[in-house]
Amino acid sequence: MARKTAIVCGAGGFIGGHLVNRLKEEGYWVRGVDLKENEFGNMNADDFVLGDLRDPRVCAALFDRQIDEVYQLAADMGGAGYIFTGDHDAAVMHNSALINLNMVEEARKHGVGKVFYSSSACMYPEYNQLDPDNPKCSEDSAYPAAPDSEYGWEKLFSERLYLAYARNYGMNVRIARFHNIFGPQGTWTGGREKAPAAICRKVAMAEDGGEIEIWGDGKQTRSFLYIDECIEAVRRLMESDFPGPVNVGSEEMVSINQLVDYVCEIAGKTLRRRHDLTKPQGVRGRNSDNRLIREKLGWEPSMPLKEGLRRTYEWIAEQVRRHEAASV
């Protein structure tokens, strides 16, 4: 049988880099594409195109051979410090929408077998996520739409774009709504990092008995999914007949304070917390609802949060050590 071929958009990023590895393990020929190379050396694609997917010519040139699958993960994205300040709203909407408009159209023109799109839990309405103890994120609760960020609105628009291509052109699409994916080889500093990486970094950099800053009162809740589980879900979704959208997340909901407790325990440090209520925090509560993925794929993640955090903390502590060693 001919080797399967795939394009991974956003292969220079966190999830894209890990997905390339998985597809390679499965025997695929993989073309990665991104604005930048993967900064942690996660560069195992057979072919890597440094290019801007906002440019339709760059997108068109990716299809110079038969492509079986496209995984569209490229987005202008970051954690709360990037998405929720409001400063990047226009760029986030413009850049990510252009990428999706270009890629879905090129995939259609070139008759790609299946197209995966990475949406986000940020598309769920804010009004269902005001109570930290009882957030509602079932797939059917998406409408009436009211995401709390422009990033979420763009995800919703692009979900609809892929679904419209499926309806009108018979395109075979798969859509996952990722809930806080974390793990090694992800952004851990610089302003675009997300909560688990930021907390691991702060704890790794603090002296035992010292103090760290926490954004908000720490009572906001979230769930976090380890990267390997996310990749497994993406591959299972692609192999299934179910288009989604479906949540890909963990149901192990914790408060940010609990997350800090876990990381401190892993690091063996006792730290004071200074809560900064002026910093962006996102919704009060969010948790994945995995009923649909259990029903449709017969699968759900199994790794406890603590285990994923232990692996992530070790990797980030090592980055911090290297960084500090390089700067003395």
Number of chain positions touching ligand NAD (CB under 6 A): 26
Select the residue interacting with ligand NAD from 34, 69, 159, 289 (CB under 6 A). Answer: 34
Active-site position among 151, 162, 165, 262: 151
Select the residue interacting with ligand NAD from 28, 153, 165, 178 (CB under 6 A). Answer: 178
Sign of the four-CA dihedral 324, 277, 224, 297: negative
Q: Which is nearer to ligand NAD, 98 or 206 (CB)?
A: 98
Identify residues 57-96 at the interface with ligand NAD (CB under 6 A).
73-77, 95
Is residue 151 part of the annotated active site? The answer reads yes
Select the residue interacting with ligand NAD from 100, 102, 118, 129 (CB under 6 A). Answer: 118
Sign of the four-CA dihedral 143, 144, 145, 146: negative
Residue 15 binding ligand NAD, by CB under 6 A? yes
Residue 107 binding ligand NAD, by CB under 6 A? no
Q: Which is nearer to ligand NAD, 5 or 119 (CB)?
A: 119
Q: Which is nearer to ligand NAD, 19 or 212 (CB)?
A: 19
Residue 36 binding ligand NAD, by CB under 6 A? yes
C-alpha pair distances (Å), 239 with each of 68, 242, 296, 303: 12, 9, 12, 22
Using CB under 6 A, list all residues that contact ligand NAD. Answer: 10, 12-16, 34-36, 52-54, 73-77, 95, 99, 118, 120, 178, 180-181, 187, 194
